[in-house]
Structure 1
Amino acid sequence: MKQHIPNFITLLNLFCGCIAVVFAVMNRLEIAAIFVFLGIFFDFLDGLAARVLKVQSEIGVQLDSLADMVTSGLVPGVIMFQLLNMSQTGGWGHGFLETESNLSFLPFFGFLITLASAYRLANFNVDENQVTSFIGLPTPANALLIISLPLILLHHNNDALNGLILNPWFLMGMTLVSTFLLNSKLRLFALKFENWSFKDNAVRYLFLIGSLVLLLTIRFLAIPIIVLMYVLMSFMQKSTPDIS
């Protein structure tokens, strides 16, 4: 019975992703973001459960990637689609279901994120070098980066930030950065604790503490900074074991 527990948790991730897709298509991006957060939480929890219960399996690995493809691959693509469409149709609130104008081809550029996520997940499944660290930005981290954009628009209400985020050139640039990071050769540490020793997990603890401080002080604006910090801290690590 216990061998099914991690897979059930993974299916909860997929279920959250399905709900997030529906709300993202409806341009209810804040609700979509909530379900992405929930899905990523279940994505973390299924791996933890598998390790604690010692029931890791090949089907679990495949199921995990299929769930991530929806929650952390498709949803960010739809959100970027909506943001690019809003940049063309007059700002926040003008999703493609709310406008009567002809839809341009530009918003479809956002689905490069979905394509890059699919390639990254497929590559991850056949790469035997990603166990204790990652090569390229993990799809959940990339999803957080993308969903932070509408959350910043909604909750920070800053004209300069709004103008930047709804600039089509900025959004296209973010899409290209996202696709590059997903499939780059950057070696990034994983938040997997083999033990609770500070000495063995100093980078992980410092990253988590720094992330918490940023989230408490600057809220959603912290998310892009945290992703950047994650990349920089990984890059500055003197040595990282083979991974993922």
Structure 2
Amino acid sequence: MKRYIPNFLTLLNLFSGCIAAVFAVLNYLEWAALFVFIGIFFDFFDGFAARMLNVQSEVGVQLDSLADMITSGLVPGIVMFQLLQMAETGGWNLGFFGHETEMTVLPFFGFAITLASAYRLAKFNVDENQVSSFIGLPTPANALLILSLPLILVYHANDVLNTLILSEWFLIGLTLVSAFLLNSRIELFALKFKNWSFKDNAVRYLFLIGSLILLVTLKFLAVPIIIIFYVFSSLLLKASKNNDIL
């Protein structure tokens, strides 16, 4: 029975992603963000449960990526589509079978995030080197980055931030950066706990504590800062290891 527990958690991640996708399509982006966060919570603990129960399986690995494709791949693409639609002031109208629509081409560029996520997950499934670390930004971290934008708009009520986030050039640039980071060769430490020892997980604990402090003080504005902190701390950790080897 215990071998089904991690896969059940993964399916809860997938179910959360399905709900988030519906809310994102309906442009209820706060609710979409909530269910993405819930899905990522299950995504974190399914792998942990598999390691603790010693029931890792190839099916579990594939199922995990399929769930991530929805929660952390499709939903961020839809959210970026909605943000670009809000930001856009012009563009080419789409015509289907002679009928003009108010929808324009540019918002579909947001799905570059979904395509990049799919490619990243496919590479991850066949890469045996991404066990204790990641190559490229993990899709859940990227999803948190994208989903934080509508929450910043709603809860921080800052004219400068609102103008920046609803700038189509900012959103296009962020989409390109997102797609690049997902498939870059940057090595990032993984938040995978094999045990609760501080000695074995010092970097992970310090990162989580720092992230918690930022979230308490800056709320949703902390999320982009945490992602940047994650990338740069991983680069510093990699550099320090290389210096130790030399």
Contact 1:14/1:70 (<8 A) preserved: yes
Asked if structure 1 preserves the Cα contact closer than 8 Å seen for 2:52 and 2:194, the reply is no
SS, match of residue 241 in structure 2: coil
Q: Quick check: 1:239 aligned with 2:241?
A: yes
Q: How does 1:108-187 map to 2 (within 5 A)?
A: 108-187=108-187
User: Which SS does the other structure have where 1:103 is aligned?
Assistant: strand
Whole-angstrom CA distance in 2 between matches of 1:101 and 1:225: 38
Q: How does 1:1-244 map to 2 (within 5 A)?
A: 1-88=1-88, 102-237=102-237, 238-239=240-241
Off by >3 Å, runs of 4+ in structure 1: none
| TM-score normalised by L of structure 2 | 0.91
**Amino acid paired to 1:81:** F
Q: Deviations over 1:46-96 (max 9, x none)?
A: 111111111000000000000000000000000000000000259xxxxxx
Residue 97 of structure 2 corresponds to: none
CA-CA distance at 1:196 after TM superposition:
2.9
User: In structure 1, what is the Cα distance between the partners aligned to 2:141 and 2:19?
Assistant: 19
User: How far apart are residue 195 of structure 1 and its match?
Assistant: 3.0
Give me the whole-angstrom Cα distance separating, in 2, the residues matched to 1:172 and 1:89: 14
Over the residues paired in the alignment, what is the CA RMSD in angstroms? 1.4
Q: Is the 8 Å Cα contact of residues 203 and 233 (structure 1) preserved in structure 2?
A: no
1:1-57 Cα offsets, whole Å, 9 max, x none, are 111111111000000000000000000000000000000000011111111111000
| Contact 2:51/2:194 (8 A) holds in 1 | no
Note the C-alpha offset of 1:101. Answer: 6.4
Q: How many residues of Structure 1 are paired with residues of Structure 2 in the alignment?
A: 231
Letter in 1 for 2:2: K
Query: Matched residues in 1 for 2:196 and 2:5: separation?
Result: 24
Q: Distance in 2 between matches of 1:152 and 1:137?
A: 22
Instruction: Provide the rounded CA distance (Å) in 1 between the counterparts of 2:158 and 2:12.
Output: 35
Give the superposition deviation at 1:113.
0.1
Match of 2:93 in 1: none
Letter in 1 for 2:74: L
Q: Which runs of 5+ in 2 are unaligned?
A: 91-99
User: Relative to structure 1, is the Cα distance of residues 189 and 177 closer, same or farther in structure 2, using a 3 angstrom cutoff?
Assistant: same
**Distance between the aligned counterparts of 2:133 and 2:84, measured in 1?**
33
Deviation of the 1:103 alpha carbon? 1.0
Residue 96 of structure 1 is matched in structure 2 by none
Structure 1 runs not aligned, ≥5 long: 91-99
Q: Equivalents in 2 of 1:208, 1:11: separation in Å?
A: 25
Q: CA offsets, 1:123-170, max 9 Å, x none? A: 000000000000000000000000000000000000000000000000
Greater alpha carbon shift after TM alignment, 134-143 vs 193-202: 193-202
2:68 partner letter: D
Amino acid at match of 1:239: K
User: Residue 48 of structure 2 contacts residue 194 of structure 2 at CA under 8 Å; is this kept in 1?
Assistant: no
